[in-house]
Structure 1
Amino acid sequence: MSFWVELPVLIVVALGLAFLFQNFVARVYSIPSESMETTLHGCTGCYGDKILVDKVVFDFTEPAPGDVTVFRGPPAWLLREGPQARPANPVVWFFQQVGSVFGLSAPDERDFVKRIIAVGGQTVSCCDSENRVLVNGKPLTEPYLYWDDPGNQHQQSFPPVTVPPGTVWVMGDNRNNSCDSRCQGDGGSNGVVPVSDIIGKARFIVLPPSRWGGVSDINPQTGQAP
């Protein structure tokens, strides 16, 4: 078989393997907003980080505080965000879906990326006298926090919320520029994310090359990496 006959077969096989890998093992996602700065770069309409998300890790372990996760937006979150418009042109829609599988464009569904702060059974609140989030009455250590306005480093306060079993409380690292469990679904227990909606854990920044590296997963409750 000549090279030019083999080439299309090799391309199809390579694309098929990549499709299976991204759907069942790990997938590349684009960061669409600034809510996780500076851990993850992103902004509306700009070239944000592309991250590799491990889709199998939570088949063997439970999501833990400090994990940066990608998850499907729960109904309360989607209600706030509003419906996402689908391109009228079916050809554009098709290539958008194909591109999203390979991390070349945003997926059609509403996916979010945030850091887990507390898990089911824990009580989270903000803030203590030093402007720190508390979990079970103990202040968190959060070296990853970013303040886009250095003159305003005061976190939004909220009363104690006990996270229901089977859910997690998530927040953005860009603490004053992130709509997360504090405000989604009007906050409180409506802002939690079901563990079943978590797609996977962010492991690596794969693009751009200047940003290559692992994604910090320091546990804010212990101040240490797992």
Structure 2
Amino acid sequence: MTEDTRTEREDRAESGAASRRKSALLFLRDLVVIFLVAVLVSFLIKTFLIRSFFIPSASMEQTLMRDDRIIVNQLVPEVASIEHGDVVVFRDPGGWLPARADEAKPPLIAVIDGFLTFVGLSASDSNDHLVKRVVGLPGDHVECCNALGQMSVNGIPLDEPYVVLPPGDTKVSRDDFEVTVPEDSLWVMGDNRYNSKDSRYNTGTPLEGFVPIENVVGRAVVVSWPISNWAWLDNYPQVFAGVDEGTG
């Protein structure tokens, strides 16, 4: 074998190795670009369209169970209006949630959870929000309870199939109340009526139990986890039929 032949083979080998290195670098570059695009898309979706939250309490049973994860449509109320019966997630209006110390996490777990929250795959701030069903919209007159134990909105009694009551109880609220919802506010209640610290039991807070619409993060549309609890969340329009035309 001549020296020229060896040189040619060495050149071809070096060229092939360089080509493989270049291909590997291009592949890694494409992976990084795909990852960054996926993160950006997830961030934009989480910021403007949908977001995930987990359910920390039993106040919405049996509609939502403790530790369920829900998907929230953040186009409500900015783009789509809030309706009677909607299940909404909202920021604490002040005094609804007890003060709590931040839970210490190992640094690596904190970084991972922060990243997942950033892209909308986690909901580390769920304990700073509440989830309830909208019963009263601005201007509504809401009262409870009539002789049948029903709640009324604008004089229209409601037959609420989603409400959970203790055995033997027929009143949809343990305590009677009567309110008129102020402008730009909501009256919200949990479906687990005897185990929900909702508008009824926050009348001593600065906003007297009403939730400013601007505090609403969005409307819960689906239970996404666990799979066994997967369900679309209904706002039961038949329950509130005629309420908007009610005379109060």
CA pair 207-53 structure 1, distance change in 2 beyond 3 A: same
Q: Which residue of 1 aligns with 2:5?
A: none
1:27-106 equivalent positions in 2, closer than 5 A: 27-42=51-66, 48-77=67-96, 81-88=97-104, 91=107, 93-101=110-118, 102-106=120-124
Aligned-partner Cα distance in 1 for 2:127–2:56:
13
Give the TM-score, by structure 1 length: 0.84
Name which of 129, 147, 160 aligns with 1:111: 129
Aligned-partner Cα distance in 2 for 1:153–1:187:
28
Q: Which residue of 1 aligns with 2:162?
A: 144
Give the TM-score, by structure 2 length: 0.77
Name which of 232, 239, 244 aligns with 1:214: 232
- One-letter amino acid matched to 1:31: I
Aligned-partner Cα distance in 1 for 2:104–2:192:
34
Gaps of 5+ in 1: 43-47
1:4-23 equivalent positions in 2, closer than 5 A: 4-23=28-47
- Secondary structure, counterpart of 1:190 in structure 2: coil
Aligned-partner Cα distance in 2 for 1:108–1:133:
29
- One-letter amino acid matched to 1:82: P
- Residues 125 and 157, structure 1, Cα contact 8 Å, conserved in 2: no
Shift of 1:205: 1.4
Shift of 1:56: 0.9
- One-letter amino acid matched to 2:54: S
Shift of 1:60: 2.7
The farther-off stretch of 136-145 and 94-103 is: 94-103
- Secondary structure, counterpart of 2:114 in structure 1: helix
Aligned-partner Cα distance in 1 for 2:116–2:29:
26
- Secondary structure, counterpart of 1:63 in structure 2: coil
Shift of 1:140: 1.1
Determine if the alignment matches structure 1 residue 165 to structure 2 residue 183: yes
The farther-off stretch of 107-116 and 169-178 is: 107-116
Shift of 1:168: 0.6
Aligned-partner Cα distance in 2 for 1:122–1:112:
22
Between the aligned residues of both structures, percent identity stands at 34
Aligned-partner Cα distance in 2 for 1:187–1:124:
19
Aligned-partner Cα distance in 1 for 2:55–2:105:
25
Aligned-partner Cα distance in 2 for 1:190–1:196:
16
Q: Which residue of 2 aligns with 1:202?
A: 220
For the aligned residue pairs, the C-alpha RMSD in angstroms reads 2.5
Shift of 1:57: 3.3
Shift of 1:146: 1.5
Shift of 1:20: 1.6
Aligned-partner Cα distance in 1 for 2:157–2:207:
20
- Secondary structure, counterpart of 1:210 in structure 2: helix
CA pair 170-188 structure 1, distance change in 2 beyond 3 A: farther
- How many residue pairs get aligned? The number is 215
Aligned-partner Cα distance in 2 for 1:109–1:32:
7
- Residues 55 and 64, structure 2, Cα contact 8 Å, conserved in 1: yes
Shift of 1:40: 1.1
- Residues 121 and 164, structure 1, Cα contact 8 Å, conserved in 2: yes
Aligned-partner Cα distance in 1 for 2:60–2:115:
26
Gaps of 5+ in 2: 1-22, 244-248
- Residues 76 and 191, structure 1, Cα contact 8 Å, conserved in 2: no
- One-letter amino acid matched to 1:85: A
